Amino acid sequence: MRTTAAVVVYGATGHTGRFIVAELRRRGFAVVISGRDAAQLEVLASEWTGVDVRPATVDDARSLDRAVAGAAAVINCAGPFAVTGGPVVEAALRAGIPYVDVAAEIEANAAMFADYAEAARRAGTPVVPAMAFYGGLGDLLVTAAMGEWTAADEVQVAYGLSGWHPTAGTRTAGQVSHERRAGRRVRFTDGALRYHDDEASEQDWLFPEPLGRRAVISEFTMADVVTVPSHVDVPEVRTHMAVEAVRDLAGEDTPAPEPVDALGRSDQTFVVDVLVRAGGIERRATARGQDIYAVTAPLVVEAVRRILAGRTRTTGVASAGAMFDAPDFLRALAPHLSVGLPH
């Protein structure tokens, strides 16, 4: 498809931003690249023809307004989202265009729902936070697994990553979140986000074959604890992470991802396994793929495509599972993802 108005990618020069720009272009969208570093933006623009450059900073509302002027939508992939989320979504709302971001930060996502729900509802503008590997994919899988259920007793999301070589942006965002929590951990229990000082613990998780039984850090809490309960009536949402990935993430000398194929993807593989329980019945949904950063691009671009085509279920601030037809959305991600859903 070719849109008459461009999609603005704020944070286009970052690791994930580059994947998103490439995916937008592959799908025929006109693209505006934006961010704070004008020189880096020009270097990126030189790699592709027909990409417009509009530098902007989050502390200059006028520059953001110029960046999104006349655009069809804006994708924010510039972390930390505790800093960028508010200014960029406000620019989108002033322009009356959809806003989508790829935030994995729990508090930043919670703030997006809390602070902008009314303004986005009044504007009739879709705002979809966490439309990414963390927060978005799990929420879509949970929603698809729920099917006709409107409530659940418990949701668990287990991340079976072969490893996790974090980008500089991931490390920065993680540090911001750590400081905001004063080093505490967070869980979603009894229907609310609650902070605690409990030590992390391990458990075994039985992933689908061929991954099988693997050790995970239990309650390694990710953005699903914000996105899922934003629209699912559930008192407990827990997320778990493969021990190997946690060790990589904690290692100060773990290098950034290295490309191994023509698409620029790393050799990291993943399985996301969702378990939903209600009334003694269990349902599961799974997704397999390669490179958590690269797969965010088709996730967020498919979201923008559907929003611009009017294929949405609501407006205002909503998670992926609330905004879209979850099973149909997941099936549309082939060949980027291999998905297993309940029959």
Q: Tens digits of per-residue pLDDT, 60-70?
A: 999 999 999 99
Strand partners, 156: 238, 275
Q: Quick one: pLDDT band at residue 2, thresholds 50, 70, 90?
A: very low
Whether 340 is in a domain gets the answer no
> Is residue 240 domain-shared with residue 165, that is, in the same domain?
yes
What is the number of domains present in the chain?
2
CB 105 within 8 A of CB 79: yes
Distance CA 325, CA 191 (A): 25
Q: What's residue 1's pLDDT?
A: 38
| Predicted TM-score of the model (pTM) | 0.96
In a domain, 218, yes or no: yes
Are 247 and 181 in a shared domain? Answer: yes
- β-partners of residue 100 are 75, 128
Q: How confident is the model at residue 4 (pLDDT cuts 50, 70, 90)?
A: low
Mean pLDDT of the region 259-287: 97
**Which of helix, strand or coil describes residue 49?**
coil
Q: What gap in Å lies between CA 252 and CA 280, rounded to an integer?
A: 43
Within a domain: 339: no
Q: Phi then psi for 250, rounded to 5 degrees?
A: -75, -20
Q: Which pLDDT does position 195 carry in this prediction?
A: 92
What is the rounded CA–CA span in Å between residue 76 and residue 328? 24
- For 188, the token pair is 């979603």
What pLDDT sits at residue 27? 96
335 assigned to some structural domain: no
Beta strand 201-206 with 213-218 is: antiparallel
Separation CA 129–CA 100 (nearest Å): 6
Distance CA 29, CA 327 (A): 24
CB atoms within 10 A of CB 177: 18
Q: Which domain holds residue 155?
A: 133-291
Say yes or no: 172 and 121 in one domain.
no
Q: What is the pLDDT of residues 38-53, one digit of tens each?
A: 999 999 999 988 899 9
For residue 148, the tally of other CB atoms under 10 A from its CB is 4
